[in-house]
Amino acid sequence: MSIQTKTMAEAQEMLQTYFGYPDFREGQKKIVESLLQHNDTLGIMPTGGGKSICYQIPALLYPGLTLVVSPLISLMKDQVDALLAMGIPAAYINSTLSGREVNDRIRAARSGELKMLYVAPERLELDWFRDEMAELPISCVAVDEAHCVSQWGHDFRTSYLSVAPFVEYLPERPIVAAFTATATPAVMEDILRLLRLRNPETFVTGLGRDNLAMQVLRGENKKEYVMDYAREHADEAGIIYAATRKDVDDLYSRLQEAGIAAGRYHAGMTDEERAASQEAFLFDDLRVIVATNAFGMGIDKSNVRYVIHYNMPKNMEAYVQEAGRAGRDGEPSQCILLFSAQDIMTQKFLLEQGDADPERKRNDYRKLQQMIDYCYTTKCLRSAQLDYFGEAHDDTGCGICSSCTDDRELIDMTVDAQKIFSCIHRMRERFGVSLVSMVLKGSRNKKVLEYGFDSLPTYGVMSNRTEKEISEIINVLASEGYLALSEGQYPVLRLQPLAVEVLKGQREVMQRVARVSVASSRSSRSSRTSKRDMSPSAVNETIFEQLRLIRREMAEREHVPSYIIFNDATLREMSVVCPQSERDMLKIKGVGEVKYRKYGQPFLDFFLNQGSSEVEAPAYDPFEF
């Protein structure tokens, strides 16, 4: 099928008409240009960075159909609902449909009634489906969550390996576009190879999202912190991730007992229970949802103001994906990771329960150690994430993460570091953090005595500290590159060149310690969190809340999530602009011509009836139009 080259001017016109944005973000622009020039394309963009627009706009300009490979039923439904709300003909085919419904949608695609059709990768393996698709004018195959094709990715799905054979089965090869939010260099190489992209253009737009304030908090009373935070942010949407079903159920019960509108989501619930909980959260009937990592991929809820990790995730890819579900509308949002040493044991237990082959397991343990290092690092958290994914960046720091805002006192820890390094050396670099900490503390533990470590010169040289404190220092030193830990369930400490320089007196080690008590420190951190949540001063919060009420009523009538009508960022801009005409409304980001015709009039009527100085609720039914 011949595809005529389209211009970026045409793409921008579509973007304004349907999505209500005057121009693409820089990363989006390059990807869209590449696809309009008929290039196979790989786009690595952060969660909430607008990946879907990158193939949806070209799909509107291409002749024929764009087939979108999507991993989850909820993801397909959200995407299609949003497209239909904008007047874009789209559909999905998945296991929730009857045979007749599937045939109806294929018939609609064949007759040219659809521009996009979403399918799961498993469907590409079916002979009858391949034959049906071979008769359709498919101009592009867009592969969402493309990291799933790689066994080194964090969500490997063997069915993704069927994408390339499916594309080659089609009588005329379409353009192939692949997208993901998280890919290390090794995973990127796998995506290009396993999807068999031809002469592809690759774009990495950066993981950094300026609206997300990343925090890692150690030593907190986790239950108390979560309860306090949920109470203080009761009017905001949030996700709380926990590693186990037991923790999810416990936190859910506590939130419910405290009168907080909370839901839960994990694999131990029935399909119906999970679907009901997810829908209630999407429709803002629940403000907070407590979930395992089974929840979230493809949840396009734009107004999530905070994501709290009750436990450390198993790797950086999972963390970035999950934390990135906050602030998809660009508004300031919090990503808080509550870390304790017990999290390490929990994740190791979960790894051991899996049936991965030895090579995959070694890789999983390596990724877990890198996640542990992140939890202990003193460097900028955004920089640490960019380093992990191999992205270039400057060293100025983000200025808003818990490392960049750390106001603790910087002190010289060189002598303690030398004691630790010396002890590891004398123990012949054959043991882990726990045993090294015992020796430095001067423990009479049976294992210490059996190995004769009580006779080492370093035995008891840090007896003034607890074993937990010593372990903390060791983990920080590991995160900063002085020490390395071997892969596996029982990692062994090894000295790195930087540690040798410290032992020789050629390098100092500086670390931060609290100026105040733990309780005061937590209060201080909570204070910083609240300040970060504050809305721009120009926003009239009373008007904003009234606009949310109008949106909620409309969403209930349309039976779609509120953010599909307009997201929070769009309503906030409305509360500042106070539009008085259709022209004013169309200048607001997120209000396209199609959405304005479908949803805009009640909001405009609100301002026309109220006037810019009034803040009392309108005494009329805004839906009588």
pLDDT at position 123, please?
94
Q: Show the DSSP H helices in 184-325 as ranges.
A: 185-194, 222-232, 245-257, 271-282, 316-323
Confidence of residue 600 (pLDDT cuts 50, 70, 90): very high
Among candidates 610, 554, 553, which has minimal Cα distance to 578?
610
Per-residue pLDDT at 220 exceeds 90? no
Please compute the mean of the pLDDT values over residues 464-490 and round it to a whole number: 88
**Strand 510-513 and strand 333-339: pairing?**
unpaired
Helix (H, G, I), strand (E, B) or coil at 219: coil
- CATH architecture of the domain with residue range 212-388: 3-Layer(aba) Sandwich (3.40)
CA pair distance 275, 261, nearest whole angstrom:
17
pLDDT at 539: 64
Buried b (16+ CB within 10 A) or exposed e, 35-45: bbebbbbbbbb
Distance of CA 266 to the CA centre of its chain: 18
Note the pLDDT of residue 72.
Answer: 80
Instruction: Give the C-alpha separation, 275 to 279, whole Å.
Output: 6
Q: Do domains 8-204 and 212-388 have the same CATH topology?
A: yes
Burial, 100: exposed, middle or buried (Cβ in 10 Å; 0-12, 13-18, 19+)?
A: exposed
Strand-pair partners of 577: none
> If pLDDT is split at 50, 70 and 90, which confidence band does 560 have?
confident
- What CATH number matches the domain at 541-610, 3.30.2350.10, 1.20.1250.20, 3.10.310.30, 1.10.150.80? 1.10.150.80
Looking at the predicted structure, is the pLDDT value of residue 85 above 60?
A: yes
Which single residue is written with the structure tokens 């009239």? 540
Q: Which CATH number fits the domain 409-513, given the four candidates 3.90.1330.10, 3.40.50.300, 3.30.470.30, 1.10.10.10?
A: 1.10.10.10
Q: What pLDDT score does 299 carry?
A: 67
> Cα separation of 545 and 284, whole Å?
13
Q: What is the pLDDT of residue 618?
A: 38
Residue 92 confidence (pLDDT) = 96
Q: Which long-range contacts (CB under 8 A, 24 or more apart) does 572-577 make?
A: 572/331, 572/535, 572/536, 572/539, 572/544, 574/543, 574/547, 574/603, 574/607, 575/539, 575/540, 575/541, 575/543, 575/544, 575/547, 576/536, 576/538, 576/539, 576/540
Predicted pLDDT of residue 360: 82
Mean pLDDT of 491-495: 93
Q: Are 263 and 277 in contact (CB under 8 A)?
A: yes
At 282-309, the pLDDT tens digits run 888 899 999 998 776 556 788 899 999 9
State the pLDDT confidence band at 178, using cuts at 50, 70 and 90: very high
Query: What local confidence, expressed as pLDDT, does residue 296 receive?
Result: 65
Q: What is the mean pLDDT of residues 230-253?
A: 93
pLDDT at 614 over 60: no
Neighbours of 165 (CB within 10 A): 12
Spatial separation of the C-alpha atoms in residues 512 and 510, rounded to whole Å? 7
3 state DSSP class of 440 = helix
Question: Tokens representing 269?
Answer: 């619930």
The CATH superfamily of 8-204 is P-loop containing nucleotide triphosphate hydrolases (3.40.50.300)
pLDDT, tens only, 324-382: 889 988 889 999 999 988 888 888 888 888 777 888 888 889 899 899 999 988 889 99
Query: Which residue has tokens 């301002």?
Result: 607
User: Strand 483-485 to strand 493-495: parallel, antiparallel, or no bridges (unpaired)?
Assistant: antiparallel
Which residues fall within 8 angstroms of residue 546, CB to CB, at 6 or more apart?
A: 606, 615, 617, 618
Percent of the chain with pLDDT over 90: 54
Question: How many CA atoms lie within 13 Å of 456's alpha carbon, on the beta-carbon side?
Answer: 28
Domain ranges of the chain: 8-204, 212-388, 409-513, 541-610
Is pLDDT of 586 > 80? yes
- For 336, the 3-state DSSP assignment is strand
pTM of the shown model: 0.72
Q: What is the mean pLDDT of the chain?
A: 86
What's residue 125's pLDDT? 94
Angle in degrees, CA 441, 447, 450, rounded to 5:
110
Question: Can you give the pLDDT at residue 353?
Answer: 83
Residue 602: predicted pLDDT: 92
The pLDDT, as a whole number, for residue 139 is: 95
According to DSSP, the residues that pair with 41 across neighbouring strands are 177, 201
Closest CA to 141 of 103, 108, 170: 170
Per-residue CA distances from 84 to 215, 542, 587 (Å): 37, 31, 22
Q: Which residues contact 297 (CB under 8 A, 6 or more apart)?
A: 71, 72, 74, 75, 145, 155, 321
**From CA 204, how far away is CA 86, in angstroms rounded?**
28
